Amino acid sequence: MDVKSETPIRKLDLVGRIQSQASLGTLVALCVIASFCFPEFPRQLNLTNIVRQISMTGLVSIGMTFVILSGGIDLSVGSTAAAASVLAARLSREFGLMAVGAPILLGIFIGAVNGMLITRARIPPFIATLAMMLGARGLAFILAGGEPVGADPSSWLYQIAKTDLLGFPCLGIIFLLTLGVAIVVARYTGFGRSLYAIGGNEEAAVMMGLNVNHKKMLVYMICGGLAGAAGMLLTSRINSGQPTAAAGWELTAIAAVVIGGTSLTGGRGKMGHTLYGVLILGVISNVINLEGTLSYWYANLITGVLLLAVVLLQSRIAGGRIRDT
């Protein structure tokens, strides 16, 4: 390989590292400013609340990272979480532990349908998952009968979000353990490496002998399963399943993944850096709540500005790559 062909790759790696460090620096700066402006921000009670808030969208963001790395997108995760939330609440009344497993299975099933539409019917991921977003939301309303469904306070599901382990929320432990497993899978397994290959150049991945359709199916099933788990945990936290819940989670997850440094075009990024994006959005939301007089829409505005800045940086990287080659 000559120097000319190596230059774009080295440039991408360098800028990717700069972007991830910028995300970490942004997170640190936000925490320092928040601690200075709001004395209650660094207190254990508030930090614990942040962990609980980000854990569910964090799970969805992990699944979204897998999908985006493979060059896809999943707009159905919020609706999937809502349907899983309602199912968990209903099952908690009579079937106990099934209220934990069944919502995850529902999410996997929805993810499998997404995968089939994309790989077999050859429907673009945006369209396929948009249709499933509408369908899953409709399923949530059907399961709920149009009304919130209360969870059984005597069930094991009810206690998950209320339990701490050595002062750390159980929700946070679940999120961090899942993230750890996802990092290992993405970085050290053949499946993870194949996602980078597919997202980077799907045609080349096919020529390498990779079963692209099979990998994509697994990716969307993983994403759906994690969305189902997030919906189940949401029911545990708010004590009910609501068909209107988790609205906008798909956009929050995409923003967290991109702010963490994963390229929207696929093939580049690190699973662990998604944590930076999740925490940045969580801190912004928490600061808005602590301020008290600002609407939550300001958090959306700030998130949009950050997302736009990252996407512009990524587009400049791509432009530089084209010029250099």
Q: Work out the burial of residue 247: count CB atoms within 10 Å of its CB; fewer than 13 is exposed, 13-18 middle, 19 or more buried.
A: middle
Give pTM, 2 decimals. 0.91
Q: Work out the burial of residue 38: count CB atoms within 10 Å of its CB; fewer than 13 is exposed, 13-18 middle, 19 or more buried.
A: middle
Q: CB-hemisphere CA count at 13 Å for 177?
A: 6
Q: Which residues of the chain have pLDDT under 50?
A: 1-9, 11, 321-325
pLDDT at 17: 63
Are residues 265 and 283 in contact, defined by beta-carbon separation less than 8 angstroms?
no
pLDDT at 159: 85
User: From the CB of residue 123, how many other CB atoms can be counted at a distance below 10 Å?
Assistant: 16
pLDDT at 319: 55
pLDDT at 263: 86
pLDDT at 325: 37
In angstroms, rounded to a whole number, what is the distance separating the alpha carbons of residues 107 and 87? 11
Q: CB-hemisphere CA count at 13 Å for 206?
A: 5
In order, the DSSP letters of 225-249 are: HHHHHHHHHHHHHHSEE-TTTTTTH
pLDDT at 4: 42
pLDDT at 5: 41
Q: What is the amino acid identity at position 218?
A: L
Domain tally, the chain: 1
| Domain of residue 156, residue span | 3-324
Q: Give the CATH number, domain containing residue 81.
A: 1.10.3470
Per-residue pLDDT reduced to its tens digit, 74-114: 999 999 999 999 999 999 887 777 899 999 999 999 999 99
The runs of H, that is alpha helices, within 189-296 are: 190-200, 202-207, 212-238, 249-259, 274-291
pLDDT at 59: 98
In angstroms, rounded to a whole number, what is the distance separating the alpha carbons of residues 53 and 281? 10
pLDDT at 301: 82
pLDDT at 324: 41
Are residues 79 and 130 in contact, defined by beta-carbon separation less than 8 angstroms?
no
Are residues 182 and 223 in contact, defined by beta-carbon separation less than 8 angstroms?
no
Degrees to nearest 5, angle at CA 199 with 193 and 200? 90
Q: Please name the residues in contact with 185: beta carbons below 8 A apart, sequence gap of 6 or more.
A: 191, 192, 271
Per-residue pLDDT reduced to its tens digit, 273-318: 999 999 999 999 898 888 877 777 777 787 788 778 777 766 665 5
In angstroms, rounded to a whole number, what is the distance separating the alpha carbons of residues 194 and 64? 16
